[in-house]
A and B are shown apart, each in its own frame.
Chain A
Amino acid sequence: MSDKSPEVLYNERLQRLKDAAAGKVPDRVPVFGPFQKYPYNFGGITLQQAMNDYPAARAACHKFLDYFQPDADFGPIFAYPAPAMETLGWNAFKWPGRGLADDTMYQYVEGEYLKADEYDEFIYDPSDFMLRKWAPRQFKALQGFSQMVPWRRFMWSGWMNFGFFASPEMRETMQLAIKAGEQMNDWWGSQAKYWGELQAKGYPLAFAGWDWPPFDILGDTMRGTHQILADMRRRPSKLHDALEVATQIFIEYGSGAAGAPLPFCWVWVHKSTREFMSDAQFSEFYWPYLRKGLLALVDKGVTPVLYWEADFESRLKHIVDVPPGKMIYHLSNTNYEKAKDVLGGTTALMGNVPNLMLLSGTPGDVRAYCKKLIDVAGKDGGFIMDAAVMLDEAKPENLKAMFDFTREYGVYR
Chain B
Amino acid sequence: MTPRNPNLKQQLVDAFANLEEDQAYHLAETMLAEGQAPQSILDGGREAMAIIGARFEKGEYYLPELIIAGELLRRIGDLVKPRLAAAAPQGAPRGKVLIGTVAGDIHDLGKDIVTFMLDVNNFQVMDLGVDVPASKFVEAIREFKPQVVGMSGFLTLAFEQMKRTVEAIVAAGLRDQVRIMIGGAIMDDKAAYFAGADAYGANAGEAVKLAQSWTGGK
Q: Say if the beta carbon of B57 comes within 8 Å of chain A.
A: no
CB-contacts of B106-121 with A (<8 A): 106-107, 109-110, 113
Given A109-B106, A275-B203, A355-B186, A230:B156 Cβ within 8 A: no
Residues of A within 8 A of B62 (CB): 275-278, 281
A389 contacts B156, CB within 8 Å?
yes
Residues of B within 8 A of A233 (CB): 19, 64-65, 68
Overall SS of chain B's interface: helix
Q: Say if the beta carbon of A335 comes within 8 Å of chain B.
A: no
A392 contacts B63, CB within 8 Å?
no
What bracket does the count of chain B residues touching chain A fall in? 20 to 34
Residues of A within 8 A of B174 (CB): none
CB-contacts of B141-194 with A (<8 A): 155-157, 159-160, 185-186, 188, 190-191, 194
Q: Within the complex, what minimum Cβ distance (angstroms) separates B106 from chain A?
A: 5
Q: Say if the beta carbon of B71 comes within 8 Å of chain A.
A: yes
Q: Say if the beta carbon of A240 comes within 8 Å of chain B.
A: no
B186 contacts A389, CB within 8 Å?
yes
Q: Say if the beta carbon of B79 comes within 8 Å of chain A.
A: no
Bound-complex Cα distance A290 to B155 (A): 25
Q: Within the complex, what minimum Cβ distance (angstroms) separates A292 from chain B?
A: 22
Bound-complex Cα distance A234 to B106 (A): 27
CB-contacts of A270-285 with B (<8 A): 273, 275-278, 281
Q: Within the complex, what minimum Cβ distance (angstroms) separates B134 from chain A?
A: 14
Q: Give A133-158 as 1s and 0s: 1 = Cβ < 8 Å from B's Cβ atoms.
A: 00000000000000000000000000
Residues of A within 8 A of B21 (CB): 234
B156 contacts A107, CB within 8 Å?
no
Partner pick for B155 among A107, A225, A332, A360, CB 8 A cutoff: A107
Q: Give A306-330 as 1s and 0s: 1 = Cβ < 8 Å from B's Cβ atoms.
A: 0001100000000000000000000
15 contacts between A and B (CB under 8 A): A100-B104, A101-B104, A105-B104, A107-B105, A229-B63, A229-B67, A234-B68, A275-B185, A309-B185, A333-B186, A355-B159, A356-B156, A356-B159, A360-B194, A389-B186
Give me the 4 closest cross-chain CB pairs, A-B, nearest first: A229-B64, A104-B104, A278-B62, A355-B156
